[in-house]
Structure 1
Amino acid sequence: MLGVSLLDKPSYRYGLDERPPLGENLIFGLQWLAITVPLIIILGKIVAASHFADPAAQILYLQKLFFTTAVMLLIQVYRGHRLPLITGPASVLLIGITANAGSSIDAMYTATIIGGGLLTLAGATGWLDHLKGLFPPRVVAVILLLIAFTLLPTIMNLIIAPGTGVSPPLHLLFSLAFLAVLVSISRVLTGLWKSTLIIWAMLAGSLVYFLVFSPAAVDMSGSAGAVPTFASFFHEFTLHFSLEPALIVSFLFTYLALFINDLGSMQSVGSMVGATEMQARISRGVTVTGLMNILSGFLGVIGPVNFSLSPGVIASTRCASRFTLAPTAILLFLISFFPAVIHWLGNIPPVVIGTLLLYIMCAQVATGLRIIYESENPLSMDNGYIVGLPVLLGTVISFLPPAVTAGFPAMWRPILGNGFVVGVVAVLLLEHVLFRKKG
């Protein structure tokens, strides 16, 4: 998971705590922005559409998401882990939201506040050392694989995109062709071009879609004229607490995965840039992540996490300065107050979003498989059961028809109907109980 080759600090143009000149700092910040914006838009649009049918409410949701990402990024750079590490909405929390679509929004974001609170305590009180023992490499690998596989129903619905006026088979053909081009291009790109591939693919894919299919068939999320240029979003907070015990338990499993993601991202970048006092950085970083998830719960948006996409950008620009992310945070903050800009950025066809999410999840699968390959006896039958059974079981649960999950007891539905939670429980039982090494 952390297999990042170390680079000597002298090879960087600017070190971790060095400040580039203003002009260069702004250029570096724009490069980070080009990577962050597509991730916010792609994940944010999926969650916003699952909550609200009103385009204005969806844009308001994205405004809050840009705001929380900007605030977390700025705090992390100056007071948190203090590493050149981008942040954004956590894909693992997307699983918790989409798998529990039958629950109220208030209940979901109450669970987000509770999960963020426990994460804050873990970072601030030293629980981190105790939690690490639950996640040996095989468990981490399974969690990474489960994130990808249990998102497949959501990805499938985005690709098929019923109700857009274009037949599902045509959408599927478009997605397959788009994915083939995307993979082919990614094999030959290097450095910054490879790191920013998602934004170019998002723009090019949307343009081709509009050219191939009738613009009238595309959901433009409302008229641009109806969207204000500037607007605040400091209203409609999620302050109506709603406690659903089973839903909270379901979300706590997703926060265990978020913790692993956060930890791995900080360790990989820290080792790459030669950061010192990593234990203190990780504790501060996890604490800030937890606090920002609490804020996200109050605002009613998906919580943020530190992303592991940064090493490629650092290697290509030869700039390890954390201060290059300050302009990114400021620009994200400004964008959050301009709904018209977000509306323009958000006019991406669902099939393009689904295909890009599928491509992004390929990296998740590759990381999980690499961890398994690097483990002891990777081809043993024990590994086959410990890895294969939870992934298959979680995938089956994720594809259960709503009519089946509706038959589960209401109290247990958020747990038994969530493929990710079932998979995580299964791998923990297999790893620590059934296949536990004696002695």
Structure 2
Amino acid sequence: MVRRLLRKPVRLVPLGFLVVILVGTGLLMLPWATSEQRYTSFETALFTSTSAVSVTGMTVTDTPNYWNGFGLVMITVLTQLGGFGILTGASLVILAVSRQLGLRNRLLVQAETAEFGLGDLRRLLLRIAATVFVTEALVAAVVGARLWLVYDYAPGRAIWAAVFHSIQAFNNGGFTLYSDGLVAFARDPWVTLPLCAGAIIGGLGFPALFEATREWRRPARWAVATKLTVWGSLVLIAVGFGYLLLAEWGNPYTIGTYDVPGKVLSTFGQIALSRTGGFDLINVDRLTEESYPMFVGLMFIGGGSASTAGGIKVSTFFLLGFAIWAELRGEPDTTVGHRRVASASQRQALTVALLSVALVTAGTVGLIALTAHVRFHAALFEVTSAFSTTGLTVGLTQQLPPSGQYVLIALMYIGRVGPLTLGSAIALNTRRRLYRYPEEQPIVG
């Protein structure tokens, strides 16, 4: 058994995350992790640990009041381990996949993943670690200085709050030290924009981030995956920003009472964080009804591949869009940026998307069945948020019975390790058949 796992190190990723979750659960159950010095129930500790390790940020408690300093530090450590573990796990997966494929496919992997191809593992992991900690330090420095100089925080409190939220932002977690989220800072660009920058950088994924920064003057030379991720992310942010600004412009419970700069800043910040992170800059539970489908869509798509974000990934979504467009135009091939996309990549994207839709559908039905008087849109929102490891909530999570919480726990775990494991399994199982069956075209539609 052990030898089999070592021969397939990709299989160790889900097991490793499960071990960290269980260890975190045990530590959070201890009485010195809570403000009232009492034991935490297994369900609450497991939910919190899973949410932290999966960098989701959903809670069943009032985080700043329920957990004391030790508990909050544990949540921070688990979030950092979860985010950095996914990055290193993704790196190892890509390296393992590239070495087990044939030469032709290995070269394709190297071309599509740039820095993540057949390079030096030690140099790769050091570069990832440097990017993580430098970004978190810069975000924390700006936010901490703002809290100290403008909000009159004591230096120690300002540093703690800044470090906590910078780690949550970069790893796309949603835990905060404030019961109302970050609504109080929604119109402060010195707090909102650094956190958004951290979340966007962490949510792009290092294959896209490294190549985009290295070839920033020549975007035409970017790999297809980088183009889909970078340009796709900008499109999603722009469309989501415009949609939410129009939908919530006059809503007095969200941004309706703000001035124009406040509306623009808080809307942009919420959209930048809604795709990947779980911070509340506006009251998500008081949105207009037409805003919820947009949030569900953005959360379901998520961020970039090999990133701290969840969802089906930006590249998957836009690759399917290009495939549909090519089919509607009667094109024989799907092309992106003068590159023909392999049919295997299109099938993999379709597989990930349809399996994700099935999981979200099953989770929504299960949550409604297990919980009385739950509205469909609320159940769909919470399930999508859990599966995409976003962490936004309309207030339903804390009202769920233990059975409903276990549904979300399973979705958070699957949403974090599932796409990584599934993608590697598909790639590792890629093989070339030496024969082909006769072709037939069944009626479609």
TM-score (normalizing by structure 1): 0.26
Q: TM-score, normalised by structure 2?
A: 0.25
